Chain A
Amino acid sequence: MVTQTSLNYVPVVVAAIVSGTVLSLLFILAAVVAPKRRTMISAIPYESGIPPKGSTWKQINLRYYLFAVFFLVFDIEAVFLFPWALTYLGIGAIAFFEMVIFLGILFLGLVYAWKKGVLKWT
C-alpha cells in the first residue's frame, strides 16, 4: 500500500540512483581517459615494496568479533530507545522507570564485560 509517509522516501531512492549513475559515468570517463599498462609487477598487492609472502588472505583476530557482538547488543537497545524517546512523557511514570531498568541491566552487562577483561585490547 502506498501511503503519504512512504512517498516521502521517494527522494532517497532517486538520490541513490542519481549518485550511483553519476559515479558510474565518472568511472566510464576515467576508463576512456586513463592509460592502461597492466603489467605483472604493477598488479602485485602492496606490501611496502617487497614481494608479498604467502597468502594475502590473512585471518583476523577474534577480538574484532567480540566487539561486533557488543555493538549488536547496544545497537538493538538504541532501536528501542528511539520510539521511547518521543512517547515516554505522554505515557507517564511506568514508561520512564521501565527504561531506567532496561538501561540499568544493559549497563550492568557492560560493567560485567569490563570486569571480565573483555574490553581490554591486548
Chain B
Amino acid sequence: MRRMIGCALALLVLLTGCGGEAAYTADDLRALLDAGLFAGDMEAVDSAVAPLVLGVDAGTVTDCVCYMATNTAASADEAAVLTLTDEAAAQAAEEALRQHLASRLEDSRRYTPAAVPRLEAAVLRRSGNTVLLAVGDPERLEAVVDGLH
C-alpha cells in the first residue's frame, strides 16, 4: 500500500514537472502594471510596432502586448509579453530582447542615469513559446514576476 502511494506521488511529481510552467499571458502583464512597478505614464504600443522597437523578428510573433513609458528620455520602463510561433522562435526572441536591454543600458549610462539600476534589474523570462520582459522597480520587480505562476 505504501509502495503504491509512493509511486502515485512520484508519478504526480513527474507529471507536474513535465507540464512545465504556464505560458505568459496578457493577464500577467496587467498584473505587473497593477502592482505599481513602473514609473510615469505607461502606454500601450501597437502590436505591429512593438516587435520592431524591441528588435524581435516580427514574422515569428503571433501575439504581443507591450507597454512603454512615454517619457523615453527619462525612463526606460517597459513591459511586454510576446507569443511566438514555437519554442525555437521564443528562444531567438529571448536573445533579441537580451540585446535590446543591453542597448538600452548603454544609452542610459550616457543620457538617463536614473534608468540604469532599473535596467540592470530587468527581468527576462521564457516559458514555452512565450517571453516576458519587464523593466521597472528594481526592488520589487523580480519577486512580483516570480509570483505570477
Determine if chain A interacts with chain B: no
Binding site for B on A (CB under 8 A): none
Binding site for A on B (CB under 8 A): none
